[in-house]
Structure 1
Amino acid sequence: MSSKLDNCSVVMAHPDDEVLWASSVLSSAAKIILCFGDSSKPRIGHARRLAMKDFPLNTLEFLDLTEARVSNRARWPNPQPSSAGLKISRRMYDLYNRAEQAYETNFSRLCSEFSVRLSGVDDVITHNPWGEYGHEEHVQVFKAVVHAQAKLGYRIWVTNYVSERSLQLMLSQADQIGQSTEPMKTDTHLSKELKQLYERCGCWTWPQRHIWPSYEMYYELAPEKRSPRWVSTLNFVGKEGKLRPADAALALKDG
């Protein structure tokens, strides 16, 4: 098992995702790429841009793409994968299916950006195939990182967070997961600093009373699909963003 991922690149969908899901590696990362700015929430794009100007690490690259407004639009409770992330349900008011078109356009843009920005990189940490708690754009960023890997050849490591909603999606994607790192301590000082920055700028999107787990782990994306016969520990995102360690990878048992 690998215990350190020094000099890796961290690729996350939204400002604050990096500190929620990968605080343990941020200070040693060679590059931190955050993808989305404007969203359906008024003024959050401006708030995110303000936060990015004051980001305390000089390894940041902010793409400032516009979100596709597809949050909670996958076919829950049984989401289906698509080439751009997850299949998006149509809504009556979206007669021309603009959200799905924007989602597919963003996937193409992300693939193009990553094919340049991740050139020469050895290790990339990104969202897991189930998007932590099932966020459609988290899954999309993961898919775009995988797409660029075919050209660039880096190793992909994914986060170890899951929620009740994303549990079945996680189980269906578990054959992509390979070896894990040793547990890595979350960075409590940097987490507090970044949370305060996002709160001050008005773009902290998670519960105000969020408490980080003591440790995180990362799983290497397996080069080929494998039988999910592994036992490990996931950090479970419960109600109101509270976290608790899950038991034995939430029903994935050896044998």
Structure 2
Amino acid sequence: MQSYDDVITSKGFLSDLKALNKTIAQSLTKAGLPVIINGNVCYSDKDEDFNKGTLSSLMEPKRKALVAMAQRSRCFVEVGIAGGHAVLLALHANPDLKAIGIDLAVQAKPSWPRVDIFVPAATEWLLKRFPDRFSFVKQDAIDGLREVASAPAFGPVDMIHLDGGKLNRMDELAAIWPALAERGYLMQGDYKNGNVRASTRAMIQCGLAREVPEEDLPPMRHRTFKVVEIGPSVLAQSVRLQDFRGKRVLLCTAHQDDELLFAGGLLSKIARKAQVHVTCFFRPMKGRADSDTRIAAMQRLCAEVGVSCTQYPFAVEAPYRRLRRYIAQDDTDGAAPVSLLRPLESHGLYPTLLETAISTLRLYEPDIVITHNPVGEYGHLEHIFLHRTMMEAARRANITTLLTFGAGQEHRAGLSVTYDTRRKKRLFKHYRPQWDGLKMYDFALDPERFVREPLFPT
């Protein structure tokens, strides 16, 4: 691995830097404009005739951080590519790195340098110089990131530089999240801006990001930037069992027995350490052998464990359309991605269910919410329905920590909870003899898993 000094003084980088700067300068001169561009990792903002000057000493910490990130990454996405200097430096720091630049290339304010002139010139030069390692998306930040996420040209993204607008950084992270590698780096440009600082704090609070361990790395923070680690593995590792101590925990289930099947062991472990409330949204289905006993069974179980509970009166049955007209899966094992045949918002129960979920979250003000997962554990449509509802409710209520049951999503990392299986087994007595989950579900006494979902506040 080359040192920063080796990269920045290499003949290859200096030759390409000179050629890129010449291209930018010629494009501006040809348009009858002064040679001025936005500030970047190499030059100060609006530094006239930057191409005749030296690299900015103020930006050296950012250049060092960028080189360190690039040398540990495979796919780099930059929002606000401007003159392309960060991409050029990153590609020279790591010959295996590939990069995608996103820029609208529109002069939004008269005071801005003429990005509409020099951005196209710079990106055209980069495309010719690195035809197999660079691509360009001429879009605004969010639409461009969504385009990249929908079809990642160079594989999972593990390095991001957000250096465009300052108001929507959380939305930008949300747009690229589906394309992220398990772990990567996010460099927040313009870190001295209050909105950028606030968005970084929110990312960390929501578990989407964490501070970068600085072992063997240059400083990852300066007044001009901050680097954090991001990705699904970062999110998965952000919750530990000890984090439940002293917290308000709200467990939201579709049916009576779900609290036992998916979280009975966890409830037993945290009941004395946290303030726990169980909320069941759907009443028992009519015509079952245990239709008249399930609510009382849940209440007895919660009382024995030492948590409070509430039963809501909703039911996903007539006069509403069947959920299978709204939700579909590609297979029947519960692990396939879910697709919507119709917007869930058009389901007759959804508006009431959503408002109730939001009101419940605002009433209990939980630190941690636990509910069903995106695939409904084993493909249960009502579980999926409640999951989608709770996710939207959590966003609207500004919940930062939402966990889903791990059953059916074993491919995702999460919190694994071991417990006294004998105690959980005894809890099934409350539902017997009408219902025996131990015989029906082979996972009933497995270690319980909980996966933290990415929440991007609205």
The alignment's TM-score, normalised by the length of structure 2, stands at 0.37
| Pairwise CA distance, 1:193 | 3.3
Alignment of 1:147-226 (within 5 A): 147-154=392-399, 155-162=401-408, 180-181=414-415, 183-200=416-433, 202-204=434-436, 207-208=439-440, 210=442, 212-223=444-455
Q: Quick one: structure 1 residues 128 and 116, their matched pair in 2 at CA, closer, same or farther if it must change by over 3 Å?
A: same
* Aligned partner letter, 1:188: T
Map 1:2-21 to 2 at 5 A. 2-4=239-241, 5-6=243-244, 7=247, 8-21=249-262
Taking structure 1 as reference, are residues 109 and 210 closer, same or farther at Cα in structure 2, changes over 3 Å only?
Answer: same
Whose helix proportion is higher, 1 or 2? 2
Matched residue SS, 2:292: helix
Superposition CA RMSD, Å: 3.1
1:219 positional shift: 1.3
1:2-53 CA distances to partner (integer Å, 9 max, x unpaired)?
2225242111111111111122322325111112223153454312233244
> Where does residue 68 of structure 1 map in the other structure?
317
Instruction: Specify the structure having the higher radius of gyration (Cα).
Output: 2
Residue number in structure 2 paired with 1:41: 287
Match of 2:339 in 1: 80
- The unaligned stretches of length 5 or more in structure 2 are 1-236, 332-337
Take 1:218 and 1:53, find their aligned partners in 2: how far apart are those partners? 23
Cα distance in 2 for partners of 1:214, 1:42 equals 27
Q: Which runs of 5+ in 1 are unaligned?
A: 86-100, 163-169, 225-255
Greater length-normalized contact order (CA 8 Å, ≥ 6 residues apart): 1
Deviation at 1:111, TM superposition (A): 1.3
CA distance in 2, matches of 1:190, 1:61: 23
| Residue 140 in structure 1 maps to residue 385 in structure 2 | yes
1:107/1:25 CA distance change after superposition, 3 Å: farther
Separation in structure 2 between the aligned mates of residue 10 and residue 121 of structure 1, nearest angstrom = 10
Cα distance between partner residues in 2 of 1:36 and 1:206 = 22
The structure-2 alpha-carbon separation of the partners of 1:218 and 1:75, relative to structure 1 and needing over 3 Å to count, comes to closer
Match of 1:108 among 351, 357, 373: 351
**Rounded Cα–Cα distance in structure 2 between residues aligned with 1:206 and 1:66:** 25
Mark the CA change 1:210 to 1:71 in structure 2 (over 3 Å): closer, same or farther: farther
The alpha carbon displacement at 1:108 in A equals: 2.4
Q: Name the counterpart of 1:247.
A: none
Q: In the alignment, does 2:261 pair up with 1:25?
A: no
Pick closer, same or farther for the CA change 1:215–1:145 going to 2, 3 Å: same
Report the alpha carbon displacement of residue 189 of structure 1 after superposing the two structures with TM. Answer: 4.4
- 1:84-117 Cα deviation digits (max 9, x unpaired): 39xxxxxxxxxxxxxxx8xx23322321222122
SS of equivalent residue, structure 1 residue 148: helix
- Normalised by the length of structure 1, the TM-score is 0.63
Q: Percent identity?
A: 20
For 2:133, the equivalent position in structure 1 comes to none
Runs of 4+ that moved beyond 4 A: 69-74, 203-206, 208-211
User: Which of 360, 367, 378 in structure 2 is aligned with 1:117?
Assistant: 360
